[in-house]
Amino acid sequence: MNPTTRSLLFWMVLVVVVVAIWNLSSQFRAGESPVAFSEFIRWVETGQVDRVELTGNEIAGTSSSGETFRTYAPPQYEGLANKLIERDVVIQAREAVASPWATLLYSWAPILLIIGFWVFFMRQVQSGGNKALSFGKSRAKLSSNTQKKVTFKDVAGVDEPKDELQEIIEFLREPQKFQKLGGRIPKGVLLMGPPGTGKTLIAKAIANEAKANFITIKGPELISKWVGESEKAIREVFKKAKQASPSIIFLDEFESIAGARTPNSGEGSDVSNRVVNQMLSSMDGVESMEGVIVIAATNRPEMIDPALLRSGRFERVMHVPPPDHGGLRKILNIHSKDMPLGKFDLESLTDKMQNFTGADVEAVCREAALIAMRAEKKSVSKKHFEEAISRVRPTITPEMMEYYSKLEGVLTSGLESIRRKSDTLMGIESV
């Protein structure tokens, strides 16, 4: 339950409790002690009651000794008034009128409950994602200024992609500089590489270095079984980017929305085809969106539809490889800079981190700190790091390294072939 709903329910319960206490206090006023009805009848018969006030079945009175009391007459009891008159008891009768607060509560309680239920229902719909009521709303997140800023100083082990992306940073900072020379920056950049190699960090660093807004969304979040919703969600992402220009759209797990199109053979392939078609259309529209660049990340580049990789769309494809020995050392220095370290050489640990990615190194640092904390040590020693390395499983296996090396060569030659063919088709393209 979200804070707004909790606050609303709290105030509703508070009002009910206050009204209930008010009614109780009005029934039992100060100085009035409740007595049993049978005791009250005995007092009347023995002449101990001086005067009473009858309000419906409620009886409030004063005894001959000056004490006040209160009781309640059962509805089946008859002849009470005659009995009191026979005993010379002063009687004052009033019509039973409900408390104004109780009347207000009874009349407004149903309306308040309906309003409260409706607010609660709408809050649940917004947070739970009822697709019928949130049709076409994308879940793209615009990075906040209060979040920690990631720059290229926080990204290590991927020097080549960083150098190649500098021109994109310069374009976002000074687009007029390129436009004067008739130059055009790539509309889209595809970062491919194994999981954990820093593709997301690179995209964030580009946005922060260029002082551009960073809009991020995962590919599966754009997929929906509702007809037309996925396409509308993609259009919403590009619309949000245009409003926040200069901006970078970062599409993670890109292969889920950019898979190669196939002849319709079911609902799943039809949805995928429609999503790819919308991506093609949106990428063609980026040209009119000054200051917007699309960066996508994938670890399955062989699944990407070739039409997205031709000139004018994702024409810049960059391989983000696992870090080498020097890259591991730099990454280790970044993630351990705030840790109280013992006297040992960090570089000596990199030999034991073969096939580790940047995410694996970060996990090693966290695990080493936890091991030192459990051992109640004031610093993290080499022994703690070695134990952490043995616990963290490397993301990249030798087989995966070989696969990505071959894939890089195939994609490089294949992309060039695709671009050459698409440029000679004189506008005849599958869109």
Q: Where do the domains of the chain lie?
A: 3-94, 141-322, 325-391
Same fold, 141-322 and 325-391: no
Range with lowest mean pLDDT among 176-180, 257-261, 287-291: 287-291
Of residues 129 and 339, more confidently modeled: 339
Structure tokens at 187: 């509309």
Range with lowest mean pLDDT among 111-125, 310-324, 336-350: 111-125
Q: pLDDT (tens digit, 9 = 90+) per residue, 324-375?
A: 888 888 888 888 888 898 888 888 888 888 888 888 899 999 999 999 999 9
pLDDT at 371: 92
The whole-angstrom separation of Cα 252 and Cα 222 is: 11
* CA dihedral over 255, 256, 258, 262, signed as positive or negative: positive
Which CATH code for domain 325-391?
Answer: 1.10.8.60
User: What single-letter DSSP state applies at residue 289?
Assistant: S
Contact 22, 99 (CB under 8 A): yes
Q: Radius of gyration over alpha carbons of the chain, in Å? A: 38
Contact 305, 261 (CB under 8 A): yes
Contact 56, 91 (CB under 8 A): no
Percent of the chain beyond pLDDT 90? 4
The whole-angstrom separation of Cα 421 and Cα 51 is: 109
The whole-angstrom separation of Cα 411 and Cα 420 is: 14
The pTM is what? 0.60
pLDDT at 263: 67
Contact 71, 40 (CB under 8 A): yes
Compute the average pLDDT of residues 216-229. Answer: 78
Compute the average pLDDT of residues 200-220. Answer: 86
The whole-angstrom separation of Cα 312 and Cα 287 is: 9
The whole-angstrom separation of Cα 231 and Cα 34 is: 72
The whole-angstrom separation of Cα 92 and Cα 50 is: 12
The whole-angstrom separation of Cα 92 and Cα 103 is: 24
Q: Which of 57-61, 103-107, 295-299, 317-321 tops mean pLDDT?
A: 295-299
Which CATH code for domain 3-94?
Answer: 3.30.720.210
Task: State the maximum Cα–Cα separation within the chain, in Å, rounded to a whole number.
Answer: 118
* CA dihedral over 250, 139, 286, 412, signed as positive or negative: positive
Fold of the domain spanning 141-322? Rossmann fold (3.40.50)
Contact 140, 240 (CB under 8 A): yes
User: What single-letter DSSP state applies at residue 351?
Assistant: G
| Helical (H) or strand (E) element with 293 | strand 292-298
Is the pLDDT confidence value at 427 over 80?
no
Contact 422, 212 (CB under 8 A): no
pLDDT at 128: 47
Residue type for 282, please? S
Phi, psi of 378 (to 5 degrees): -90, -10
pLDDT at 373: 92
How high does pLDDT run on average in the chain? 76
Q: pLDDT (tens digit, 9 = 90+) per residue, 76-110?
A: 677 788 888 888 888 887 776 655 666 666 667 67
User: What single-letter DSSP state applies at residue 143?
Assistant: P
Is the pLDDT confidence value at 400 over 80?
no
Contact 335, 150 (CB under 8 A): no
Compute the average pLDDT of residues 18-44. Answer: 67
Q: pLDDT (tens digit, 9 = 90+) per residue, 405-422?
A: 666 666 666 666 655 665
Percent of the chain beyond pLDDT 70? 69
The whole-angstrom separation of Cα 416 and Cα 333 is: 38
Range with lowest mean pLDDT among 33-37, 58-62, 261-265: 261-265
pLDDT at 240: 85
Of residues 63 and 160, more confidently modeled: 63
